[in-house]
Structure 1
Amino acid sequence: MTGAGVLEAEVQAELLGLRRVPGLTGSLVASVDGLLIAHDLPPSIEPSSMAAVTASQLGLANRVGETAHGGGFQEVVVRGAGYVVTYAAGPAASLTVLAEGDVNVGRLHLEARPVARAVAALLAAAKR
């Protein structure tokens, strides 16, 4: 397996670990430019399109955070029929999780935040 393949497998393992959250329906990691790194999404969601949309949301969230508080983006929660939560995964990527409307959002944050940090560490190590 190449270096990129190993990285993708490690990130994929982190995503699969999130399945323990009841109500979680999918997850993905994308670069800030919208390139898909890894995903665990249902077949009804096209991964590359979701990665691109996530990058767009990330750019806007960064701008709002900088304008309002002078600081960078940490996470954004979108609530509709379900939840879409995007977490910063270091400076170059994001973790997005999808969940049902009745998910325990506190548990979702408790499980996903460490995964975002782990993904950031994996990506930083891969750059060295």
Structure 2
Amino acid sequence: MNKEEVLAELTALRKEVPGIAEAATASIDGMLIAADTDEVRPEVLAALASAALGLGKSAAHEVGMGELREVITRCQSGHIVIYPVGRKALLVLLGDEGLDVGRLHVRSRPAVQRLADILGL
């Protein structure tokens, strides 16, 4: 794994999609891999994203709706979006209230694949 390549992907995604404020990747068990953050504690973000992704996967399985694509939490002042990266990692993005979630999905899906390739997943 090349941490610099992972960080470059996070930074590029923040530049491509206006409204992304923070970005991080973590292992599926919540261990931080890399972060491009300013305001949040990246280790805490990684752990919380892991828990949220796990709940999302369990819910998707329980209701029989297929493989989980992402978990989106909309808050008063923005969004938390979590994508699985392969079966062993995740991407978590924090966006402001003006984040174009549709554009985010279009831009993030190729980034998720590139991250999976970089991480060897």
Partner of 1:73: 68
Which secondary structure does the structure 2 equivalent of 1:74 belong to?
Answer: coil
Residue identity opposite 1:48 in structure 2: E
Q: 1:119 maps to what in 2?
A: 115
Letter in 2 for 1:49: V
Structure 1, unmatched stretches of 5+, are none
Cα shift readout 1:65-94 (whole Å, capped 9, x = no counterpart) = 111126332211110120110011100001
Opposite residue 86 of structure 2, the aligned amino acid is G
Unaligned runs of 5+ in 2: none
Q: 2:11 aligns with which of 16, 27, 40?
A: 16
CA deviation after TM superposition for structure 1 residue 8, in Å: 0.7
Of 41, 44, 65, the residue aligned with 1:46 is 41
Determine helix, strand or coil for the equivalent of 1:84: strand
Counterpart residue type for residue 83 of structure 2: Y
Corresponding residue of 1:55 = 50
Within 2, Cα distance between the matches of 1:110 and 1:104? 10
Number of residue pairs aligned between Structure 1 and Structure 2: 119
Based on CA coordinates, which of the two structures has the bigger radius of gyration? 1
Query: Runs of 4+ in structure 1 displaced over 3 angstroms?
Result: none
Please state how far the C-alpha of 1:31 moved relative to its aligned partner.
0.5
Work out whether 1:105 is the aligned partner of 2:101: yes
Q: CA RMSD in A?
A: 1.3
Shift of the alpha carbon at 1:106?
Answer: 1.0
Moved more, 63-72 or 85-94: 63-72
**2: CA distance between counterparts of 1:50 and 1:105?**
20
Deviation at 1:103, TM superposition (A): 1.2
Q: Report the Cα distance in structure 2 between the residues aligned to 1:107 and 1:113, rounded to whole angstroms.
A: 10
- Following TM superposition, by how much is the alpha carbon of 1:30 offset from its aligned partner in structure 2, in angstroms? 0.6
- The two structures have a TM-score, normalised by structure 1, of 0.87
